[in-house]
Amino acid sequence: MIITDWIRAAVAGTTADGREISEQALVEIAEGYSQDTYNARIWAEHIRSVAPDGMFKALGDVVQVKTERISGGALAGKLGFYVKLAPHQDLIDMVRNGQKVHLSVEIEPKFAATGKAYLVGVGATDSPASLGTGIMKFSTAERQTSLFSTPLQADIKEPANPTGGADYSLQFAQLQGQNTAIIQQFNALKGELTLLLTEIGKLQASLKETHTIVEEIGNTSQGRFKRYVPHSNTVTHSQSVDY
């Protein structure tokens, strides 16, 4: 398993829209994070796929976290938040190809009723912000209060003996073709379902009409067809049996 060096994934301070990533939250995460408690995974653009082989499947895991004061540069004195990742091959391939090379952390402010902040995920993104300011967004998916921190540049270690280069443009074209085929199949199934629902509607209307006719016949004929069973074995002129 490949483990990265420490990567700075967030910096405490004011965000681009005026909110704050507090030092306390980053410290709480550093003190409390454990894969055994809750394993934070890596997701492309924070999107979680429900399919294990989908386009937005997990790209790896967060192995360790820590905080450390930045000693130099424009961010000197600020508290940095660092992670070690265990990237899957898909993420390694993307980074080699110059895609999704920045990180953005997902912070749950009050995790599992503990009242403390926790790292619940890391996004791999191509929308980085300035290192001096962060972008914090509320998740529009499952966790409405989860925070997305500043995406910052990340360097991922490659394997010691990487295999030969692949034709990524061809792979991407194949993925696009597969996606197009899936969409076409879905549209075809949607059309068939629409036709089926139309036929079911016609059948329901026909059954309702038939039921109405049967009721009308029953109401019209009521009392006309009666069966009289004599009390004796003898049928007289005054007794009749309707069949």
Active site residues: 17, 46, 104
Residue 154 CB partners (closer than 8 Å, separation 6+) = 4, 7, 8, 9, 85, 101, 102, 103
Answer for the pair 86, 61: CB distance below 8 angstroms, yes or no: yes
Q: Show the beta-strand stretches assigned E in 78-191.
A: 79-87, 102-108, 118-125, 137-138, 147-148, 152-153
CA 202 – CA 24 distance, rounded (Å): 64
3-state SS assignment for residue 43: strand
Answer for the pair 30, 81: CB distance below 8 angstroms, yes or no: yes
Q: Count of H helices and E strands in the chain?
A: 3, 11
CA 186 – CA 179 distance, rounded (Å): 11
CA 123 – CA 148 distance, rounded (Å): 8
